Chains A and B, each alone.
Chain A
Amino acid sequence: MTDDDDLRSRLRRADPAAGMTPIAPDRASRLVENTMNTTTEAAPRRNAQLGTLAAAALVLIAAVGGWFLLRPQDSKPTTPVAAPTFTDIKAPGIAAKCVEPTADRLKTAADFAFAGTVTAVEGSTVTLKVTKIYRGAATDQVRVAQTGDVSETLLGSGKFETGQDYLVAASQGNMLICGYSGEAGSQGLSGLYDAAF
């Protein structure tokens, strides 16, 4: 193997990084700090005041661009709350893994659930006329502020369409996705609502 050794040492003598000075410690720590912060900032953030805007006859629901259990707590930095499965903090929208929906979880998680018909879709705001309240305060209409790519995680056609009937559940002002909201005719969804409420 001495041929190999010679070849290797000749290559090593030509190593362009041989005379490289180590990175300054403060630059290294700045790099590390930037790295960890950049990724955290990219995590889904939410509008803090939407949850408190539950008016008498109008409830605002902000549809979160991530899995509802992983949404950041309002007013706190983006740390994931306890979740049954592990998911990377940065996982955006539908990349997050969804557990199979169960009536039990829906019952525990949802503080507001209703059946309704979409009357208008304007920009990112969807207005629904309520036909039945499963849980929560009675209301005539619900406005859903869609943020992010949440529409694709709705059961059925994947998005709100005028004239269609939907079953929608929410927790603290955030629409539950991952199989808990969607077109009323979607397979299993109405059964899930009947079992939960």
Chain B
Amino acid sequence: MNSDDRRQRFEAVAPAVIDAVRRYLARRTDQATADDVLQETLLVCWRRFDEMPAVEPLPWAYGVARNCLANAERSRRRQGRLLTRIWQLDPPGTVTAGPELPDDELSTALSALRTEDAELLRLWAWEELSTGQIAVVLGVSANAVSIRLHRAKQRLRDEMRKLGTSAGHEELKEGRRP
């Protein structure tokens, strides 16, 4: 494969990857981190372009973005240790990063779940991936995804029930809190 050909093929697939990864990151982190991680994700995609599946590149690209985001968060936590003392005096409001959801109950229920469970649900509902595709993102078997996703849905329902709402009947109770 010559390098011009490689560039052309990357240019062809990049817009879809950029669009999908931007959304993926907007759902999980703040704007500044999202911008950095998007560029980093593209670099990794370009460097490992030969490994990118030709038919369905997005789940693979999400997997790359996921790792890049984890790296960015790790390095931020390292920097954050310097601020620990300040935080002890003036603790930050939330522990988890990421955008606020317009649905408070759902947001509370999601944050009560284990990180892995919440991520499965996001990939399922927001990225609209099948269990097979989620398996590619996370690097586990489709069978494992299927079992864990089922449990995660159950746990989310349980959390919502605890909060006095039901996922099955939210139409009756819908309404955003002021």
Contact = CB atoms under 8 A, between A and B. Distances in A.
Interface of A: 2-4, 6-8, 10-17, 20, 22-23, 28, 31-32, 34-36, 38-39, 79-80, 86, 88-90
A31 B42 contact: yes
Contact of B103 (A13, A17, A22): A13
A84 to B, nearest CB: 15
B15 interface: yes
Contacts of B103: 10, 13-14
B99 A6 contact: no
A39 B22 CA distance: 21
Interface residues of B, number: 43
Nearest to B40: A35
Interface stretch (B6-14, B58-66, B82-90): B6-14
B153 to A, nearest CB: 6
Interface stretch (B68-76, B119-127, B130-138, B140-148): B119-127
B153 A4 contact: yes
Chain B contact residues: over half helix, strand or loop, or mixed? helix
Contacts of A28: 14-15, 18
Given A31-B39, A34-B39, A14 B153 contact: no
A14 B102 contact: yes
B10 A32 contact: yes
Contacts of B47: 39, 88, 90
A132 to B, nearest CB: 40
Contacts of A2: 168
Given A16-B99, A20-B23, A28-B14, A35 B168 contact: no
Given A3-B168, A36-B10, A14 B107 contact: yes
28 contacts: A3-B157, A3-B168, A6-B167, A7-B156, A10-B103, A11-B125, A13-B102, A15-B125, A16-B26, A16-B27, A17-B23, A20-B22, A28-B14, A28-B18, A31-B14, A31-B39, A32-B11, A32-B15, A32-B18, A35-B10, A35-B14, A35-B42, A35-B43, A35-B46, A38-B43, A39-B46, A79-B3, A88-B47
The list of the 4 closest CB pairs from A to B, nearest first, reads A11-B125, A17-B23, A16-B99, A14-B103
